[in-house]
Structure 1
Amino acid sequence: MIYYILKLALIVWACETCKNQAQEIRTTIHDVLNSTKDKHIKDELRLFSLQLLHYKNIFSAKALNVDARFFATIVGTITTYMLITLQFLILSISHSCDTKPNKYHMHIIS
């Protein structure tokens, strides 16, 4: 289970890193736009900049957005179910160790 959680954490980390780098590209495009003098290049960079501003960079797999919030939800849910299972395990062990004789239990006296 730890292997799969670690694997999922690395995938989410890679997606978040790529998303952050894509956001940095927006700043870089504006820097290039401000420094260039060619009108044709400026027009193309403006169009590209508008496309990037109107597009959200989201990685999704099977309609699930792969981001830090998704990972935190998965980890929280798994932790909750593990704690519930642990509580039931502890409860069942404590009840199985009870050795109270019931009224039908017969004692042999010698």
Structure 2
Amino acid sequence: MDRLVAKYEIEDKIKFIEFAQDYDANNNDYLTEAELKKAAIDYTKESIETVDIVGLAFDHCVKATAIDSAQNGFKTRVLTKLTAAVSPVNVSVVSKEMTAHGIEVVS
């Protein structure tokens, strides 16, 4: 009988799961997706000092990425000279929101 074949390697920042035919949902010997994500985050925290975020759009994607990074325990900075907002009027409000999450907003 083919079963789920799982390999969990977080070596060189690679993780993968290999599936065989006939996945057995009752088999509890494998990490859940949440456990695998936590293991990857814990591993990368050992080698990453600061996450610097740049890009488009400051008030949407950059904001969401920065907040996710900070919530996962990474020291996070947004480099505003390398970003642009969809609505420049929102920059001040979004900057304050990110600062409230412990994110350093660098001009």
TM-score where L is the length of structure 2 = 0.23
Higher strand fraction (1 or 2): 2
